[in-house]
A and B are shown apart, each in its own frame.
Chain A
Amino acid sequence: MLHFQKWKVILVGAIVFAGFIFAAPNLIPSSALQGLPSWVPQKQVNLGLDLQGGAHLLYRIDEAELVDDWLGTIRGDIRETLRSNRIGYVDLNKNTTARAVSVRIRKPEDVDKAFTDLKKIAAPVGNDVFGGFAGNDIEVTKSGDKITLTATELGLNDRISSAIQASIETIRRRVDAFGTTEPSIQREGRDRILVQVPGVSDVQRLKGLIGETGKLEFKLVDASANAGEVALSKKVPPGSELLYSEDEPPVPYVLKDRVMVSGENLVDSQPGFDSRTGEPVVNFRFDAAGAKRFGRATQDNVGLPFAIVLDNKVISAPVIREPILGGTGQISGNFSVQEANDLSVLLRSGALPAKLSVIEERTVGASLGADSIESGKKAAIFGMILVVAFMFVAYGLFGAFANMALLVNVALIFAVLSLMGATLTLPGIAGIVLVIGIAVDANVLINERIREEMRSGKSPIAAVDSGYSRALVTIIDSNVTTLIAVLVLFWLGSGPVRGFAVTLTIGILASMFTAVTVTRMLVAGWLRWKRPKELPL
């Protein structure tokens, strides 16, 4: 009991020392840290959104829209395939609920040929565990003269995955343009994206920027129709569509269905000011193909209006004064400077593959975060003082040993949190305090056991020895049960609650080291030094 091997003492000392060193940066303001040389540990604990303020936005991608788009593509492919093979067909239909497109072949003798050709539309999806062939994205079946192409679960998952990936890239470009530090954008589950942006104040604007699909289209205005009448009668001429502007009240426009050029051909867009009016505008540039198409379309329609459409809303509908051949253009629409800026970001970042909707939002203002830090700190310090005082009153010197170990425990929690880059939340602070309670419990168990052993007449050294070894089993048993509950919490929770589980787990594990090993060394050192006839317990 009294003699620890030298390497053990050195190891424990090193861990304790490292704990204090790596926890120390949290006591220094980050501005002062930057002035220190690079070999000094500088990692601080990350504060959760509830403590530093920020936005937590959980988006879900619109699966129905993805399916619908896909079925549209499949229908186009079928049409193309049958036409190029000169196979006559009727009843080319999309069935969204069945996730299928079906077609009937006119001549019975063509059915087999059509079936073989249409099978080529299906593409393999290689996403099983080994990256090998797992199945096709489309299943092709035939019954009589009817051929059905059904989107498979595998194919759908693959589509969702790539749509999510593309969305994440797009959102990242948009949020980066917002100029905040360390946003986190990640996939959650099958069809969700979690966006966490610390320190953001204008959440409404952030949401506007992320959630906008950003589908830009240039379309000709249908000059043959009177938009006002069409809006009233709802009789839209074939080949055209009725769209509205974002004005209040909305202005109706009848536009040709066909897209002159779309945002996919855009290579750049920047906010700027109109050279004549000084009004904020967005300047854009097309790639070569886009410039060619835009040039041809404007050449053929000089004197006619066209519309710039964003997410099916007309931004502006200028008249083509002269052919625009250079591939650059300007969008004006009574923007404020900020609106022009956001629109250019939106266009530059590309469109989202499908609509995203917010299914959960949690936003904390910076002032509330600061208040929470203050109150959490205050409560934690008070709690710690009360526990330390009580332990000393209850156990005297042995209580003081426990208190020293407690200090090491708290330092270790902060050191591990800092090194892991884990996040400290307000419930996390409560978790640390709970650990303080649980950690001294181990010492209560040990000290009570030592008292019992003393009463049964054992010598100080023997009492301490069996006190520690007997209490150890109990301490492990009781901590394991707490850990089981906390691990479940970690698995269940997100955000603040997970922060609680993290500090509690780290704290309990650290407490087994500090409350048992560290105090034991302190007690042993003291016993060797004083050689007391009886224990002050």
Chain B
Amino acid sequence: MFRGITFIPPDTKIDFVGQRAITWFVSAFLTVVPLVLVATVGLNMGIDFQGGTLIEVKTKENPAQLADIRGKISGLGLGEVQIQEFGAPDEVLIRIASQPTEEEQQASIAKVKEALGDSVTYRRTEIVGPTISSELIAGGTLAVVVAMIGIMIYVWFRFEWQFAVAAIASLVHDVTATIGLYALLQLEFNVSSIAAILTIIGYSLNDKVVIFDRIRENLRKYKRMPLVELLDRSINEMLSRAVLTHVTTLLAMLPFLFFGGEAIYGFAVAMCFGIVVGAYSSIFVASPMQLILGVQREAFSGSTSPAKGKSEAAASA
């Protein structure tokens, strides 16, 4: 009978933590460069966070005459206007800067519709007033912070504080790297980006918890093994699982990059990137952090012996 292919041999021994001099540098790079990118290039803020108007149209002529549309709209005195092709040659995205009041914002849409007349059909219209955009910024930031704190508390409760700190540090790494990708590719940063970041936080942590679980198990099992060796052993033991699970999730998400349509493209890019970065940070950030934080073996050398592994949850709480 077909047993399936073992992609990662069970006796794999890569000294991940041993290479930490290099990987610390890479991790720092992945954390700092995005911040620099955001500070210099900046994020392509969508109307969710900036306020403004977004109109997606399909033109009757194919391909769309962007210059013609630009000419018609820039004469309306609506401030900054962006016009770009969107997905297909006859689909155009028009972005108009936020107007001082909500009434003027409504009026701007009417003006655009008048200027374009029957030459286009309207596929999507979004207007976000200044009140809503500032609320969305506050809500989005709060959500990311609350999620991080909630996760930290859970990990602290289920493991030791060192694991919680390591988890948060690696999540910060994942989040900044993802935001950096948004800045680098100039993907629109909007509410669904926050959704992507929150999902990446949840998913990436999922992976860290699995490795932490194994580290905890091994700390009980091998009381005298040096920590570097123990961490490497734990990672190698979970390597097959880590690789396979990320591959399956990536396989599930990838088609959205190609067939999902423009509306979800940015989300799909961020998710795919986040899955990979999360896998990296589990191995190269979350685990070696234990060295710095100094996991207390005493915490695990308590009542339960490894043979009675079933009660490990109770012992660690």
Contact = CB atoms under 8 A, between A and B. Distances in A.
Decide if A and B are genuine partners: yes
Interface of A: 50, 58, 60, 203-204, 207, 357-365, 367-368, 371-372, 375-376, 378-380, 382-384, 386-387, 390-399, 426-427, 430, 433-434, 436-438, 440-441, 444-445, 448, 451-452, 455, 469-470, 473-474, 477-486, 488-489, 491-493, 496-497, 500-501, 504, 536-537
A478 B213 CA distance: 10
Contacts of A390: 247-248, 251
A362 B126 contact: yes
Contacts of A480: 154
Given A368-B123, A427-B195, A536 B151 contact: no
B232 interface: no
A427 B192 contact: yes
Given A444-B245, A491-B143, A478 B256 contact: no
B206 interface: yes
B151 A485 contact: yes
A537 B3 contact: yes
6 contacts: A204-B113, A365-B124, A426-B263, A445-B210, A478-B210, A488-B150
Most chain B beta carbons < 10 A, residue from A360, A386, A434, A501: A360
B267 interface: yes
B97 to A, nearest CB: 16
Contact of A481 (B154, B248, B260): B154
- Closest 8 interchain pairs by CB? A485-B202, A437-B249, A382-B255, A482-B202, A375-B261, A396-B4, A359-B129, A492-B143
A363 B124 contact: yes
Interface stretch (B13-21, B34-42, B69-77, B307-315): B307-315
B5 A469 contact: no
B198 A489 contact: yes
Contact of A433 (B209, B253, B313): B253
Contacts of B192: 427, 496-497
Contacts of B7: 394
Given A493-B191, A497-B191, A379 B129 contact: no
Contacts of A486: 198-199, 202
Contacts of A452: 10, 237
B102 A358 contact: yes
A445 B241 contact: yes
A397 B256 contact: no
Given A394-B4, A489-B195, A500-B195, A479 B252 contact: no
Interface in B225-259: 237-238, 240-241, 244-245, 247-256, 258-259
Contacts of A484: 147, 150-151, 154, 202
A491 B6 CA distance: 41
B96 interface: no
Given A362-B126, A382-B259, A489-B199, A441 B245 contact: yes
Nearest to A431: B199
Given A362-B125, A477-B158, A444 B205 contact: no
A486 B194 CA distance: 11
A427 B266 CA distance: 11
A189 to B, nearest CB: 9
B202 A396 contact: no
A361 B245 contact: no
A50 B267 CA distance: 15
Contact of B205 (A359, A474, A481): A481
Contacts of B2: 396-397, 536
A430 B143 contact: no
Contacts of B110: 204
Nearest to B113: A204
Nearest to A476: B313
A368 B209 contact: no
Contacts of B123: 364-365, 367-368
Given A357-B102, A478-B207, A426 B264 contact: yes
Contacts of A427: 192, 195, 264, 267
Most chain A beta carbons < 10 A, residue from B10, B113, B195, B313: B195
Nearest to A441: B245
A375 B87 CA distance: 12
Contacts of B199: 434, 485-486, 489, 500, 504
A357 B103 contact: yes
A493 B248 contact: no
B1 interface: yes
Contacts of B140: 492
B122 A365 contact: yes
B201 interface: yes
Interface in B163-196: 191-192, 194-195
Contact of B249 (A441, A445, A504): A441
B125 A481 contact: no
B253 A434 contact: yes
B268 interface: yes
Interface string B124-164: 11111101100000011011001100110011001000000
B5 A394 contact: yes
Contact of A477 (B121, B191, B209, B309): B209
Given A60-B131, A386-B252, A397 B202 contact: no
B106 interface: yes
Interface in B75-129: 102-103, 105-106, 110, 113, 121-129
B206 A361 contact: no
Contacts of A482: 202-203, 205-206
A268 B238 CA distance: 74
B106 A358 contact: yes
B271 interface: yes
Contacts of B256: 379, 383, 430, 433
Contacts of B201: 485
Given A359-B132, A390-B247, A488-B198, A379 B255 contact: yes
Nearest to A474: B213
Given A438-B206, A482-B202, A455 B195 contact: no
A8 B12 CA distance: 40
B248 A358 contact: no
Contacts of B126: 361-363
B213 A493 contact: no
B279 to A, nearest CB: 12
Contacts of B142: 492
Contacts of B213: 473-474, 477
A364 B124 CA distance: 4
A406 B268 CA distance: 22
A360 B255 contact: no
A163 B142 CA distance: 31
A145 B264 CA distance: 67
Nearest to A203: B125
Contact of B264 (A363, A430, A470): A430
Contact of A444 (B122, B241, B250, B268): B241
B210 A474 contact: yes
A482 B254 CA distance: 20
Contacts of A426: 260-261, 263-264
